[in-house]
Amino acid sequence: FKDEQGRDVRLGQFFNGKPVVLSLVYYQCPMLCNQVMNGMLGSFRQISFNVGEQFEVVTVSFDSHETPALAAAKKQTYVAGYNRANGAAGWHFLTGDDANIKRLADAVGFRYTWDEQTKQFAHASGIMIATPEGKLSRYFYGIDYPPKDLRLGLVEASANKIATPVDALMLYCYHYDPSTGKYGVVVMNVMRIAGVITIISIVGLLFLLRRIGKRNRLVASEARS
């Protein structure tokens, strides 16, 4: 592949100990690809993890006719929209030849075909999260990627290396459904946590009532004396 500056790159060089968000689009797409990119950008802006720090982003054009100049223009637009430090260093826009594009698309299960009648590509929409080792971890379908789902997907792909205690609790309560590409509530685990909280609350209340009772008895004893 080539990056937005026309340099030869390997996909593997972007998997440098961090999870990677991977998207396949084409830069001159009139509509759907822009919605995918805008969905990514909107979600990135709503999570505290930073592109280039906790995770990398690799956007690859599946149109072999597109050039690094097109990739550079697209990168400029989205890095400006992201507007965080390290965004330019962590969000990579690539182009490639037919063979490498097809190899990548087949590896991640992405389908696209040229429609001669409309002079456009017919293609799927969605983004993927890969582990730092390059293994596909999560697939989010469509053009809307809830920030909660994206964050949990990144945490899981990192093997909890970028997780906070809240993330760990969220992962206990939510489970990824591969058929929908979304995270759903695990009712039993939520009930378990609610049960623990209830027990802790009852114990705390009993302890407080006992202290109040002791204090009242002490006050009464002092009053009699």
Which residue segment(s) compose the domain that 97 sits in?
11-163
pLDDT tens string 40-63: 999 999 999 999 999 999 999 999
Mean pLDDT of the chain: 82
Give me the pLDDT at residue 79, please.
97
Contacts of 44 (CB under 8 A, 6+ apart): 51, 57, 82, 150
Residue 203 half-sphere exposure toward CB, CA atoms < 13 A = 6
Tokens 């202290």, located at residue: 211
Hey, what long-range contacts does 211-214 have (CB within 8 A, 24 or more apart)?
none
Residue 139 half-sphere exposure toward CB, CA atoms < 13 A = 14
**Is 201 contained in some domain?**
no
**Is 49 contained in some domain?**
yes
**Is 130 contained in some domain?**
yes
What CATH number did the domain enclosing 102 receive? Answer: 3.40.30.10
Tokens 């299960």, located at residue: 109
pLDDT tens string 165-211: 444 545 444 555 666 656 554 434 444 444 444 555 555 555 565 66
pLDDT at 84 over 90: yes
**Is 132 contained in some domain?**
yes
The arithmetic mean of pLDDT across residues 3-11, rounded, is 96
Number of domains in the chain: 1
Contacts of 156 (CB under 8 A, 6+ apart): 137, 138, 171, 176
pTM value is 0.75
Tokens 């830069």, located at residue: 27
